[in-house]
Structures are given as C-alpha cells and as structure tokens.
Amino acid sequence: MTRIRHVSIKNFRSIKDLSWFPGPGLNCLIGPGDGGKSTVLDAIDLCLSGRRTATFTDADFHGLDVSQPIAIEITVGALPDRLKSMETYGNYLRNFDAAALRIDDEPEASGETVLTLSLTVTADLEPNWTLVSDRAPTDTQKLLSWSDRNSIAPTRLGSNGGQHLGWRRGSVLNRLSEEKADTSAALASAARLARQTFGDHAEKQLGATLTKVAEAARALGVPAGEDLRALLDAHSVSVGTGTVTLHDKAGIPLDAMGTGSTRLLSVGLQRAAAESASIVIVDELEYGLEPHRIMRLLGSLGAKENPSPMQGFLTTHSPVAVRELSSAQLHVMRRRDGKYVPVALSAEAQGTARSFPEAFLATSVIICEGASEVGFVRGMDRFAAGTPKGSLFAAGLALIDAGGCDKIYGRALPMAGLGYRTAVFRDDDKQPDAGQEKAFTELSGTVFKWRAGKALEQEIFENVSDHAVLQLLERAVALHGEEYIADQLSSASGGEIKIEDCRAGQGTEVRDLLAGRAKSKAAWFKNVGYFEDITYDILLPDAPNWKPEFKAMVNDMAKWVRRGD
C-alpha cells in the first residue's frame, strides 16, 4: 500500500512554492476559500495519475508567468518490491528519514526506500513526467513503467461517483479484482440481432429514400444491388468493457442514483480496493451528502482507524467534517518562510474543532468571553447587514464562546498559533492569565476589552442615552415580568429605588443599579439570543448618542473584522 511522503509544488496556479510532508492516513485541507487547497489535490493527481497526457494553459502558471516552469514532485514510499528493484529503478531509489523529515539520494538501511516522481511544464505547455535522482545520469530520463505507474495512481472521486460504477478506464471497479468482462461474443450477437430488428422497421420508415438510392446507383453503374436495406452500422458504435456498468435488479444503472449515493458507494468500493488502490483524492468531500452521510463517508475512508487502510487527500468546507476528523488529520493552508505549508491542527485545538468547527473555515475569529459577547457581536452583524458596509460574517468572521475569562486563551492561543486572524473580546472585571495574554499578542493577536474593571453590561448602561436605558429596562420587564424585575431592583437597593424611580429618571445611581442587576447571576440578558436582540433593536440604533470611548471600541472591532475581508 503506497503512501505519499512528500509533496513539492512550484509555480502552479495560486501556489508559488509549497513543501509538505503529509500523514500516512487522511489529510484534509481546510480554511477559507481560494487558499490553494484544490490546487494541491490537482497537483498530486496530475503528477501521479495513470494518464499519458494532460492539458495545460498559461493560467496554470503562477501569476501567468510562463518563464517559470511548473514543477511538481511527489515522493512515494511503502513501495511494493517491484518498485524497489535495483535492476529496474536502482539509480532512482532514494531515502526518506521520517524522524528528520528529510529525503536523500542515497538509500540507507535505517531509512525508507522511496521514489520521487516529477511533472514539469514549460512555456510550450507540454507536460513531462520523469523520476528524480541526482545519482542518475544527467543526460537520461526515466519514468515508471506504465503498469507500475497505474499501480500507484490515486483514485479521484469527483463531483459525483458515477464514473466509478462501471468498468471504465481508471475506475475503482477495475482494482477490486483481476476479473475482466469479455464482451466481444455477447456484443457481436446483440449487434446482429439489433441490425436485423432495426432493418425490418427501417424498410417501412425509409422506403422512399431507399428507392431513390437504388435508382441513383443504377444510373451511375454503382454495384449496390437492387434490394437495399437500412441497417445499423456496426463500425459506428465502439463497444468495450467500458460500457459494462452496475445495474440494480430492475436494470436501472446505479450511476443514475443521486449524487450523494453514487459518491458514497464509490468510496465504499475504494475501501474494498484499498490493497491495490491505496491513495484516494476527494475534493469537497461533503458535496451532495447530508451530515450523517458525511460521517459515513469519513468512516468508510478509515477516519477512525489506526492505522488507516488508505491515504486520503481531501478538502472540505463542511463543519461536520471538521468536527469528525482528528486534529492530526486536519491541515490549514499557511504561508511560512516564503513557502506554503499545510499546518496540522495542534492537540490543543481539538476541543475547539469539536465545539466550533466553523471557526476553522473562517478568515477571522473572535474569541468571546461568554454568551453576552457572542450575542453582542451577532447583533452588530445584523445591524451592519443593513448598512452600505455590509455584514461582518460576510467578511469571513466566526465566533467562539470561551465560556469564561479563565478559558479564553485556551481557545485563542491555538487559533492564533495556526495563523488565523484572531481577536479576544472580553470584560475587564476579571483578569485572565497575564502571561497567556502576552503570548497571544506576540502571535499578532488583538485584544478588545472594556475600561479597567468594567464588564459589558456596565459599559452599556454607563454609555448609552437615557432613552436606550429605559428601553433596556422595559425589555427586561417584557422578558422576565415586571414583578420579578421590580423585586430585584428593590432588593439590590435595600428598598431605596423602585422600578418606578428607574422609569422616571436614569441618573448615575439608577444606571449603576440597572447595570449591576443586568450582569448578576440572575442576569437579564445573559444569553446569545437576548443580547443579540437588544444590540440590534436598542443599542446600535442609539449609537449616535453613545459616549465617544464606547463608540470607538465598538467601531474598532468592526473595522478589525473588515480588514480581514
């Protein structure tokens, strides 16, 4: 069961330079769109596929610069004995040091014997496949034999799996066993019967035309005979094993099933053929599949098995897939030291991937201290969607609820370490670990926090207009009942301030009382939905009346999100 040990891509489409040592099991590329994920899969497919040619255009060159050749190199290990033959491939056998992640030209007993296949394309747009080794003569080129190349070629599952439900070229059915369908005798007999049957009907339908043809032949002395017939031309129909496909009991072809069903069945066949077809490529694995079928597809690929029965190269924009895969199976496309590198998620990021998988598909991420902050930003998004600047989520934003100040950097540090644009949105009435916050900012993380010692509810009640304060009070009454709110206010003030007093005036003492009750354990708005609604309905329409410092903080957060668009 061959495995890809290293992928090198230069000057191919959106990728200037990429170097990657993938894992031996599933490798799923994630992240925002247009990040080069599908380009990596295409490069692997083009370099290793069992095709004799491929079509390239100027658009396949990075930046349309055809002066810099496309160069794709794939190093393959776990080779069968025939590919390690010194007689056949001796000069091209190389060494892979898994511990050091290094490939050398001299095979070593302590390392793994590997082969490196290269695909280059120059300005003439003609692809050239060769084996790579500095030990080989410089004036010679060698490629795997056709049968050996086919044996390691990956199976690619496209937008639907119908192409794998027949015995066509490249179909996984051809790898399930050595059996071949001999269609010649059956098809010859069928063709004779079809010609006869069609001819009997055609004489009635085309009689006038046949008469005119016979008359013209006689006039020209062409020996066509008198009794002309319209029969099927056997030479016009090419029939081979590729026309043999899977059908159900009623004779309905299986490739007529829905997209999801054909893809799922094709992956199941790939699993059955894993011994002879051990590398699979699946772009947009969720295409046509409901969430529960995505989970079944990943299970069939061996996502939960160790070791995995096959090596997979996948892309996805599905939170379901992100949640189901392990951190080692998920890779984010990043640029480091001038090269693209798919970076595997850390073990610390696994919990976030399980709880907030959509964050790993976003451009920018805000780690919110709690539900109130999440609701506040969601309300900002709803309000912004109705303005010329547009939605914050449309700019690629995702939110993560840290569940408390003490947990916020446990979520934020792994995201920043993976290269995501990450911000923290927190209160300042409780302090997080100072060392963690410093480490976060050193990773280019951004911190949005309220004034010293202040929580979100305090900032709101201290900085909005009297009218907005009254609206917030009435919203609390509508949500929880007037008696409940009145009792809370009276109890908290020692009976000094009644609900009627709060309605009559919103001075500092009243505002402090309302803020304290709003942020207490018996909080009025402390869930995502309530806070989203008051932000959208009450707070942001009142924004022209806000105090400058509060307005600046909210505006800065919105600007930060849009800078990542």
Q: What is the pLDDT along the chain (565 residues), one digit of tens a residue?
A: 899 999 999 999 999 999 999 999 999 999 887 788 999 999 999 999 877 789 999 999 999 999 999 999 999 999 999 999 888 898 899 999 999 999 998 888 889 999 999 999 999 999 999 999 888 877 678 888 888 888 888 988 876 556 666 666 666 666 666 666 666 666 667 666 766 676 666 666 767 776 777 777 766 665 666 666 666 555 555 555 455 676 666 766 767 777 778 777 777 776 776 666 689 999 999 988 899 989 988 998 899 999 888 999 999 999 999 999 999 999 999 887 778 889 999 999 999 999 999 999 999 999 999 999 999 999 999 999 999 999 999 999 999 999 999 999 999 999 999 999 999 999 999 999 999 999 999 999 999 999 999 999 999 999 999 999 999 999 999 999 999 999 999 999 999 999 999 999 888 999 999 999 998 877 899 899 999 999 999 999 999 999 999 999 999 999 999 997 5
Q: What are phi and psi of 360, to 5 degrees?
A: -80, -5
Task: Identify which of 456, 512, 455, 520 has the alpha carbon closest to the alpha carbon of residue 484.
Answer: 520
Residue 147 backbone zone (phi > 0: left; psi -120 to 50: alpha; other: beta) = alpha
Classify burial at 463, counting beta carbons within 10 Å of its beta carbon; exposed 0-12, middle 13-18, buried 19 or more: buried
Where does CATH 3.40.50.300 sit in the chain? 1-183+240-346
For CA atoms 81, 82, 84, 85, the dihedral sign is positive
Maximal CA-CA distance, the chain: 122
Q: Specify burial of residue 158 (Cβ count, 10 A radius: 0-12, 13-18, 19+).
A: middle
| CA-based R_g, the chain, Å | 33
Amino acid identity at 421: R
DSSP helix, strand, coil percent of the chain (3-state; round to 5): 45, 20, 35
Angle between helical axes of 466-480 and 508-519 (0-180°, round to 10): 40
Distance, in Å, from the CA atom of 193 to the CA atom of 195, rounded to the nearest integer, reads 5
- In what side-by-side order are the strands of the sheet with 397-401? 397-401, 364-368, 421-426, 446-449
Residue 161's contacts (CB-CB under 8 Å, 6 or more residues apart) are 255, 262, 263, 264, 265, 266, 267
Say whether pTM exceeds 0.85. Answer: no
The CATH superfamily holding the domain 1-183+240-346 is P-loop containing nucleotide triphosphate hydrolases (3.40.50.300)
3-state class of 502 per DSSP?
A: helix
